[in-house]
Amino acid sequence: MDKKPENKAPEENTEKYFNEEEYITAVVQPDGTVKPATKKEHELEELVNLLTSGEREHKDAALDLLKNEGSITALLEVITQTENKTHKAALIAACWESGLDIKGHEAFFATLATDIDAFISLEAITVLESAEFVDISVMQEILTLLTEKTILKHPNEAMLDDLKAGLVEKINQNK
């Protein structure tokens, strides 16, 4: 039986679509408007992809990049903008896993520690527990944010209580 050869169109070379001089990637906003993506947005999206890929070597590469760059500000911006809870938790975890200095951003993480999502809360608690606090006023500010009202019946209530106890102990040691 004779088989007819299939007429396949030649595969298109897609490399040209990655030439930033010819093509621009755009972001479609929820309201339908289209906004060109910036180089910074591409880099931050790539960071999120590396951290959440599930591949250990990708995550290690992203953590090394964060350690070398040492820019907590850009990472905090991404954390704030990320709506996906799993991605947000991974980004918060990257703060402590890469050993970034959170000085000046402790209140940001204290607020995240009270987030109702257990994983976001857990990672933010870990960031605060691994941070080295020197300033008593910063520790007191965190304690103010971790009131009974914010942690009562929280999924991570016991961990938040432990964090508070650790901060009280550090404050007492530094008096």
Residue 58: per-residue pLDDT: 87
Q: What confidence tens digit (pLDDT) does each residue in 78-89 have?
A: 899 888 999 899
Q: In whole angstroms, give the CA distance from residue 124 to residue 121.
A: 5
Residue 29: per-residue pLDDT: 54
Q: Residue 48: pLDDT above 90?
A: no
Residue 35: per-residue pLDDT: 56
**Where do the domains of the chain lie?**
40-100, 102-175
Count of C-beta atoms within a 10 Å radius of residue 170: 14
Residue 63: per-residue pLDDT: 87
Average pLDDT value for residue range 23-45: 59
Q: Residue 73: pLDDT above 90?
A: no
Q: In whole angstroms, give the CA distance from residue 118 to residue 96.
A: 17
Average pLDDT value for residue range 112-122: 95
